[in-house]
Amino acid sequence: MAAFVPRPVYPHLSSIPRSYFLGHHAAGLSKMKGLLASIDLVIECRDYRTPLVSRNPLFEHNLGERPRLIVYTKQDLGSNFSTADKQREKIVEKWNAPSPSLFSDVKSRIATSKILEFIKAQAKSSNSLFGTRLMVVGMPNVGKSSLLNALRNVSLGKKKAARTGDQPGVTRKIGTSVKIMDGEEGKEGVYLIDTPGVFVPYVPDAESMLKLALCGNVKDTIVPPTTIADYLLFHLNLQDPKLYAHFCEPTNDIFVVLEALARKQGRLKKGGLPDFESSALQFVQRWRAGDMGRFILDQVSEAALDERMRALESMGGSMHQARKAAKQIKKESYLHAT
């Protein structure tokens, strides 16, 4: 039998939507800007699995005047804690310098304590009598509320203060500030404000949108689940097709995998036909839960960062530029189609 050859690149899909900038994203961002003067440190969350794509230039443009700590969330889903992972993290740290970067997993007390140590040092250097005020920002579903809960739990032993969920948009409004650390030397404590996720104004390319959809940063109804599953299959094949050996032999055909999964799990419609949609969601959920390999989706190199920054520049960090770019792309795809 011929050896299995994975797809080396993912085909371009012009049908993938490239915007998900909702009303409450814009409203949230403008309120965050209004609060900025009273904030000592902005904690910007990005997804560990998409260090390039989950970087939202809107935060730099609008909140960049305050000191920032970049936290890469969900490290447990993207890292095997190998030497290669550590080397890649070093590159990511360099990208963000002088802003510091930390890598987090909400279930790890060690990772959460490192963030707390950083915050403690920040609070020590502050002379404010009113305590240190932090704001956590990031793309939808990146793990902001979970981080707030983890910081509060490890530092104060208190239960969940912010609602979390596995779909984007659980936090819709800016929260009230929540105490996450007691003060020292007679000072007030440290307070953290949770904020709604804000999506990038426009995604420069279809593959980036697929990455964001796969990581759950957009609702699962925006990109068809079978397309998200196919994009996952593309990555699984590049990593190791054994990651889905539980269902079937190596293949580049997502419908072969989904049919095998549907039959195994009894996800069948009338007439015994496989339910491809629910099987696709199940396939993706397994990966999101860390049950089908831990790897990242972005390429991490200086060249990849340069290319990304150029693409984002052309889209612009401002809403005006983004809308202009969106119109241009629509016009081009119309010309292609006619």
Ligand X SMILES: Nc1nc2c(ncn2[C@@H]2O[C@H](COP(=O)(O)OP(=O)(O)OP(=O)(O)O)[C@@H](O)[C@H]2O)c(=O)[nH]1
Q: Is the dihedral of CA 202, 144, 24, 210 positive or negative?
A: positive
Between CA 278 and CA 143 the distance in angstroms is 25
Would you count residue 262 as binding ligand X (CB under 6 A)? no
Task: Say whether residue 74 binds ligand X (CB under 6 A).
Answer: yes
Which 194-213 residues touch ligand X, going by CB under 6 A?
196-197
Q: Which of 77, 228, 254, 305 binds ligand X (CB under 6 A)?
A: 77
| Minimum CB–partner distance for residue 118 and ligand X (Å) | 17
Structure tokens given for 192 = 């953290």
CA dihedral (195, 196, 202, 208) positive or negative:
positive
Cβ-contact 145, 45 below 8 angstroms: no
* Beta bridge partner(s), residue 178: 192
Under the criterion CB under 6 A, does residue 73 sit at the interface with ligand X?
yes
Count of residues that bind ligand X according to CB under 6 A: 24
Cβ-count burial 306-328 (b if 16+ within 10 Å, e if not): eebeeebeebbbebebbeebbee
Q: Based on CB atoms, which residue is closest to ligand X, 27 or 309?
A: 27
Of residues 37 through 56, those in contact with ligand X by CB under 6 A are none
Cα-Cα-Cα-Cα torsion 61, 66, 67, 72, nearest 10 degrees, comes to -50
Nearer to ligand X, 259 or 298 (CB): 298
Cβ distance to ligand X smaller for residue 251 or 282: 282
Minimum CB distance to ligand X, residue 73 (Å) = 5
Binding of residue 317 to ligand X (CB under 6 A): no
Nearer to ligand X, 28 or 316 (CB): 28
Binding residues among 132-161 for ligand X as defined by CB under 6 A: 138, 140-146
168 counts as binding ligand X under rule CB under 6 A: yes
Q: What distance in Å separates the CA atoms of residue 285 and residue 84, rounded to the nearest whole number?
A: 26
**Cβ proximity of 226 and 275 under 8 Å:** no
Q: Which is nearer to ligand X, 13 or 170 (CB)?
A: 170
Q: Which of 30, 124, 165, 245 binds ligand X (CB under 6 A)?
A: 165
The stretch among 68-76, 202-210, 229-237, 264-272 that binds ligand X (CB under 6 A) is: 68-76
Binding region for ligand X (CB under 6 A) out of 16-24, 167-175, 238-246, 324-332: 167-175
Residues that bind ligand X (CB under 6 A): 73-74, 76-77, 104-106, 138, 140-146, 164-166, 168-171, 196-197
